Amino acid sequence: MLTEAPPAGALLARLRTATRPAHDKLEGTLDLLDERLGLEAYRRVLERFYGFWRGWEPQVAVLFQDAAFLGPRRRMHLLQADLATVGLSAHAVRMLPTCPLPVLRNAVEALGSLYVMEGSTLGGRVIERNVERCLGLDGRRGCTYFAGYGTGTGGMWRSFLARLDQVPVTDAEQVADGAVATFERLAWWLSRTGQPPTPSILHLAAPCFR
Ligand code: HEM
């Protein structure tokens, strides 16, 4: 049976509506646009993002099974480099706590999860400017994660949206579920209050994905 694709942009509009409150809350929680952003606060944010990515990146790779699409979207190594620049040894990085994985059941939910992390590159340039102003770190050194794809950001986002446009209408809800689960888990992890919002798959030991 043929499944109908939704009109171009319909799924994106749905994702935006479903995740906007979570985005705004997260943006407000992070101090990254603080005009007096200090090195300690910046380092803490990098540590938390690393704790998320070290589980999430391999999780999505397993679910998604598309190395050609995911390869250029891997960014955990950028966090490792930035953490080294702000003074963490390789051992200290390995010992950082790992975020319990968001519950993603299949490739469709993983695509929704990817929407969150790919979309986060759109605000990265704004963050990079503030980090540079406050700390003298930029997309070449110390702020490579938030600088993301640099001048390639627009192109990477458009190619991601082209992938979203291929999703059959019957899968739209699952994509949104994956996005919301990811935003919720990340918001919890970055603010580190309370219990995880949904059941967790816990990393019992800090894994080392190399
Ligand atoms: C200080 C922190 C942040 C700032 C300043 C920021 C800012 C922005 C900006 C300016 C956009 C582009 C909006 C547009 O062009 O219409 C955007 C989009 C987006 N951001 Fe953030 N953001 C921040 C944090 C995050 C975080 C932590 C995440 C999730 C990991 C995130 C996920 C997204 C997503 C998914 C979009 C795409 C929305 C869409 O066009 O569908 N953002 N953000």
Q: What is the CATH number of the domain that holds 188?
A: 1.20.910.10
Total domain count, the chain = 1
Q: Is residue 209 part of a domain?
A: no
Quick one: what percent of the chain has pLDDT higher than 90? 80
Count other C-beta atoms under 10 Å from residue 207's C-beta.
12
* pLDDT at position 174: 96
Atom number in ligand 1 closest to CA 26: 27
* pLDDT at position 210: 25
Mean pLDDT over 170-189 rounds to: 95
Q: Is residue 167 part of a domain?
A: yes
Q: Which domain holds residue 43?
A: 10-203
* pLDDT at position 61: 97
Q: Is residue 82 part of a domain?
A: yes
* pLDDT at position 28: 84
Q: Which of 23, 25, 75 to probe ligand 1 with, by most ligand atoms within 8 A of CB?
A: 23
The pTM (predicted TM-score) of the whole model is 0.89
Give residue 123 CA to ligand 1 midpoint distance, Å: 5
Mean pLDDT over 125-135 rounds to: 96
Residue nearest to atom 10 of ligand 1 (CA): 123
Give residue 19 CA to ligand 1 midpoint distance, Å: 10
* pLDDT at position 20: 92
Longest dimension (CA), the chain: 57
* pLDDT at position 179: 97
CA distance 139 to 144: 4
Count other C-beta atoms under 10 Å from residue 203's C-beta.
15
